[in-house]
Amino acid sequence: MEVRRLFDFIYYQAANHPMEKAISYKNDGQWIHFSTQDIITKANQLSRGLLKLGVKKGDKIAIAVYQNRTEWVIADIAIGQIGAVTVPVYPTISAKDYTYIFNNAEVRYAFVGKHDLAAKVQEAQKSVPSLEAVFAFDLTDGTPFWETLFETDDQSQVEVEQIKAGIETDDLATLIYTSGTTGNPKGVMLSHNNIISNVVSMIPHLEPKTGETTLSFLPICHVFERNVTYSYIYNGCSVYQTSHLELVGPEGDLMTIKPHYFTTVPRLLEKIYESIYNKGLALEGPQKEFFFWALSLADGFEFDKELTEKEKEDLAKADTHVFSKWRAAFGGNLKAMAVGAAPCPKHLVKVFSTAGIRIREGYGLTETAPTLTINSVQKHRSKVGTVGSLVPEVEVSLDIDGSFGPDEGEILAAGPNIMLGYYKNPEATAEVIFEKDGKRWFRTGDVGKLVTNAAGVEFVQITDRKKELLKTSGGKYVAPSPIEATLKEDFLVEQVMVVGEKRKFISAIILPAPEALQEWAKRAGIEANDLAALCKNEQVVAKFQDIVAKVNSGLGHTSSIKKFTLLADTWEFVKTDGSDPELTPTMKPKRRVIRKKYKAEIDAMYSNM
């Protein structure tokens, strides 16, 4: 059968790869398994129940969960196959944010997971006239259980099938609100075909194969993880949904599930590598020397590189004594990880790939459903330092106007995956969508350039966000993201934000990695354990000056960091006190919030100038 609508994926699996453990998730420490048929049966029961409730084609239904779970997938299928529209929302946003999104989308019903979600959504409901009811995926006081909606009498299934038959591939399937670093989020309208074209075209470029096991812990409300989940279903892979907090350790999900593949974000990889690196530092004598020799082999890594006999021998030796232990800690079966949502430092791509765990970095946006480029499993289609080559059916061009570096321009994209537009916001849509030569082009807002490898394959390199470029008082443009990414390659740096808009020079706010800094201080004979005290210690400041100087050595005079401030603080994507978080749910810095929070510290770096 052909997959034309999102809900077709599960029926495609039933026809081609029916599974006893199609999707499983962890609930209170216990795995709950759903077969392909379980998912279809429950989705149909919910579809019939929603029709009985009066849900019509085009109605908006929201879903919010803290941890990925099969009920999310079931609800998504049930909503879609009666022509309604899924509105996935992050669990970490405030009741105020829910109020805005639900009013803008005119949400009629909402499904929620555990903890405070029911309370937050019900608080928002007071100011959302369209929101008729909230249903919980778990039995709880005060919120109706979602299974009370299930219509077990299948006589009304005829109506569901009639509605399904009338749903077109270009119909609106989902409304996803961007997390945005400023202002209210915009509702991205994606059709069934926007997402399906992206999912199906990606299959030949990713590692997972039929019958293999995958882990899913990135938020499924984000289009990246949602699309990957559809690809797992399409491919006939077993999906285990869990939390990133339960991955590591002898009893962690990596060891118990032994996945072949999962998706992640660079920050988690950085944490894992930091832990590995610190263990290496704790070694002594020949063991320590051998460990860091093994790491040094990653310096020369390139995808598809033909190794010399000496390089093969060295790698085999390093694998036996070092890298095989890394793979064992990941369960022993892991072949690759797809990385997205933020730039992945080159040293992470090199070191994990050298260890036999390929890093497949990709690039895209919610508005592009999402993938535009990917470092593919196919030969000659991966290149370190890039976000990959183009996904089939996607076109990319650069708007080069001289505002950026040599051969750099804003990335423009066209293809079947480009969004329908922003919901109820034609002005914002017109700012990013334009037609040329009969094609709809999307302005990504990202600056980049095109590079080729030895085989002549073209790749995309991202250099910065157009809106995040800094313009110094001298009129020079500086791209902060590459500088920040390079600084964060050092294991002592937890977070960093470069500043300098309308200033004479570039400076940086740096948050040290607490555990790594305390371990370094201990080895350096510094007795202070308090992070704030360490940030003021002369030896520590000198160490970070060395880190900054190393980064500056690869930068031009205008882009070099002249001053920095070390702060004992933590940036979060949700604040329990209701204040503005410093990070978006996808872990990007909210620059306006950070500049406001540290205005005094920033001003101090420019005083007496």
Grouping H, G, I as helix, E, B as strand and the rest as coil, residue 574 is coil
Q: Which two tokens mark 474?
A: 């001298």
Biggest CA-to-CA distance, the chain: 79
List, run by run, the mean pLDDT of 10-residue segments along the chain (609 residues): 97 98 92 98 98 97 96 98 97 89 98 94 96 96 95 94 97 89 83 97 88 95 95 97 86 93 88 86 92 96 94 96 94 92 86 94 95 93 94 93 84 97 96 94 94 94 80 78 88 92 90 90 85 92 95 88 94 78 80 90 84
Domain check: are 229 and 302 in the same one? no
Burial class (CB in 10 A: 0-12, 13-18, 19+), 100: middle
Give the domain-ending residue among 412, 443, 466. Answer: 466
Residue 191, in any domain of the structure: no
Domain check: are 518 and 426 in the same one? no
* C-alpha separations of 278 from 286, 292, 345, 471, 523 in Å: 16, 11, 18, 38, 11
How many C-beta neighbours within 10 Å does residue 522 have? Answer: 11
Quote the pLDDT of residue 257: 95
* C-alpha separations of 585 from 23, 178, 187 in Å: 24, 10, 16
Quote the pLDDT of residue 182: 55
Domain check: are 225 and 347 in the same one? no
Residue 249, in any domain of the structure: no
Q: What is the DSSP letter of 466?
A: G
Q: Which of 467, 506, 477 is nearest to 588 (CA)?
A: 467
Residue with tokens 């909210």: 590
How many C-beta neighbours within 10 Å does residue 165 have? Answer: 7
Domain check: are 427 and 304 in the same one? yes
Residue 187, in any domain of the structure: no
Domain check: are 446 and 518 in the same one? no
Domain check: are 436 and 294 in the same one? yes
Give the domain-ending residue among 443, 466, 489. Answer: 466
Domain check: are 116 and 20 in the same one? yes
Quote the pLDDT of residue 180: 56
Residue 192, in any domain of the structure: no
Residue 89, domain CATH? 3.40.50.12780
Quote the pLDDT of residue 167: 98
Quote the pLDDT of residue 27: 87
How many C-beta neighbours within 10 Å does residue 114 have? Answer: 17
Give the domain-ending residue among 466, 501, 523. Answer: 466
Q: DSSP letters of 200-253?
A: HHHGGGS---TT-EEEE-S-TTSHHHHHHHHHHHHHT-EEEE--GGGSSSTTSH
Domain check: are 462 and 481 in the same one? no
Domain check: are 440 and 578 in the same one? no
Residue 423, domain CATH? 2.30.38.10
Give 222's contacts (C-beta < 8 A, 6+ positions apart): 341, 585, 586
Amino acid making up residue 37: Q
Residue 394, in any domain of the structure: yes
Q: What is the DSSP letter of 390?
A: E
Domain check: are 367 and 516 in the same one? no
Residue 252, in any domain of the structure: no
Domain assignment of residue 439, given as a range: 266-466
Residue 162, in any domain of the structure: yes
Domain check: are 398 and 508 in the same one? no
Domain check: are 377 and 479 in the same one? no
Give 550's contacts (C-beta < 8 A, 6+ positions apart): none
Q: How many domains does the chain have?
A: 3
Q: Are 407 and 449 a contacting pair, CB within 8 Å?
A: yes
272: enclosing H helix or E strand: helix 266-281
Residue 105, in any domain of the structure: yes
* C-alpha separations of 161 from 5, 48, 82, 174 in Å: 13, 10, 8, 20
The Cα 120–Cα 106 span in angstroms is 17
Strands (E) in 423-491, as ranges, are 433-436, 439-452, 458-465, 470-471, 477-478
Residue 499, domain CATH? 3.30.300.30
Count of H-run helices and E-run strands, the chain:
21, 26
Q: Which two tokens mark 17?
A: 């790869």
The Cα 417–Cα 200 span in angstroms is 11
Grouping H, G, I as helix, E, B as strand and the rest as coil, residue 325 is helix
The Cα 522–Cα 526 span in angstroms is 6
33: enclosing H helix or E strand: strand 30-34
Q: Which two tokens mark 190?
A: 């994606």
Quote the pLDDT of residue 403: 75
